Amino acid sequence: MPDHEVAHVHNPGPPAWGADARPFLEVEVLGAPGTVPTFSIPTALALGRDGRRYIVDEGECRVVMVSPAGESTGSFGRRGEGPGEFLDPIDIEALPDGRLIVSDYGALRLTLFTPDGSFERSLPFDGTPGEIVLRSDESFSLSEQERVLFTGERMVSAREGARLIHRLDLQGNREAGFGEVRDFTSMILTTFLNKIFIAGLPGDSLLVNHACFDHLEIWTPDGKLARVVHRNVPFTPREPREDAAPPPPPAGAGGEAVPVPRRDVVLDVLSTGVAVSPDGAFWAVVVALDPTGFPNRSLRPQMESRQRWALDLYAASGEWLARQTMDEEIPFALLEWHEDGLYLLNPDGDATVRRFAVSSSGG
């Protein structure tokens, strides 16, 4: 789709319902201290046909099964490379027939399970699988968890022709791919500037959230960019800058120093999880960080300098409706929409899974 045919939705002012709108009401917390079940790094949730919740615990390489009443009913999976085992499980989806598909970016595969957690089969993936979004034709969209590699002081594409999103069938066959991959020259850029979060929209369109850019994208089912929703964060990322004090260059042949370009990035904001309800309304997590920047090449220690974070709600049109500032220590949150509410997973904070009821107005 030509650029001039891409619709742009700008949100320059405060949200339509006001800055203090409270459309999210917490109704359940799973994994709180002193309760069962507990999680190490919860990264995804699927809802079974019987109301059972399947929660991926990446830290323990397992899927925890939780009843509608919030009680643990067992788990499946363990660390390993054998059938039904995981290295880095990252996402899970429930198929219409009740089976489950788990994305494992460590093992470079997807795995199918029965509703009770029995291993069925593996689907190898030529890449690093990330988040899964099911489509109405029983195929699915799959993001790539990592799309660049760190080689010395240089970032390069992980593989020729890499795409942000892939479409596969349930046999693992790649049907299509779209979205260009950027090359960056810093470790921090590998982790976040090339990272995306995805959610399905009605009609098999796809919502794509780039972690470090102040917009969201809506892609058509056939892989064309249709709409760009410009957010009002109001904090925004800054462009990569030349490092003022680069490290000593590595020695080359003959012991001579070989200068290597190095660029780091200064970030004011990260945006992580997204979720979409059946009417097309969508949510995005926004985290404001310390604007003094990142003096080192590791982001995780800097997460402690987070200033504030919020959930933003948008209408299907892209209009910004509400921002609900959150007080809890949840520096990196993921979202899931299911028929019983909006779920927020906190893998890097207190490892809880929270369920919210969502109002239809700003009251």
Give burial (CB, 10 Å; 0-12/13-18/19+) of 8.
exposed
Q: What pLDDT does 214 receive? A: 77
Q: What pLDDT does 4 receive? A: 60
Q: Nearest-5° angle of CA 158, CA 159, CA 160? A: 140
Is the overall model pTM greater than 0.85, yes or no? no
Q: What pLDDT does 299 receive? A: 43
Distance CA 235, CA 348 (A): 22
Q: Mean pLDDT for each 10-residue chunk of the chain (363 residues)?
A: 78 83 90 91 96 96 96 96 96 96 94 97 89 94 70 51 85 86 50 77 93 86 93 53 44 43 49 92 81 42 55 93 79 89 90 89 59
Q: Quick check: helix, strand or coil at residue 22?
A: coil
| DSSP label of 212 | T
Which two structure tokens, joined as six digits, stand for 262?
């190095």
Q: Nearest-5° angle of CA 343, CA 277, CA 140? A: 90
Which two structure tokens, joined as six digits, stand for 235?
């904090």
Question: Rg (Cα) of the chain, in Å, rounded?
Answer: 21
Which two structure tokens, joined as six digits, stand for 185?
């020259």
Specify which residues 270 forms β-bridges with.
287
CATH number listed for the domain at residues 3-241+263-358: 2.120.10.30
Q: What pLDDT does 247 receive? A: 46
Q: What pLDDT does 58 receive? A: 95
Q: What pLDDT does 253 receive? A: 43
Q: What pLDDT does 34 receive? A: 86
Distance CA 319, CA 13 (A): 10
Q: What pLDDT does 20 receive? A: 73
Q: What pLDDT does 350 receive? A: 87
Q: What are phi and psi of 302, to 5 degrees?
A: -80, -15
The answer to whether the CB of 145 falls within 8 A of the CB of 181 is no
Report the residue count for the chain: 363
Q: What pLDDT does 91 receive? A: 97
Q: What are phi and psi of 304, to 5 degrees?
A: -70, -15
Q: What pLDDT does 98 receive? A: 95
The answer to whether the CB of 331 falls within 8 A of the CB of 348 is yes
| DSSP label of 191 | I
Distance CA 54, CA 339 (A): 14
Closest CA to 231 of 269, 182, 185: 269
Q: What pLDDT does 196 receive? A: 86
Domain boundaries, the chain: 3-241+263-358
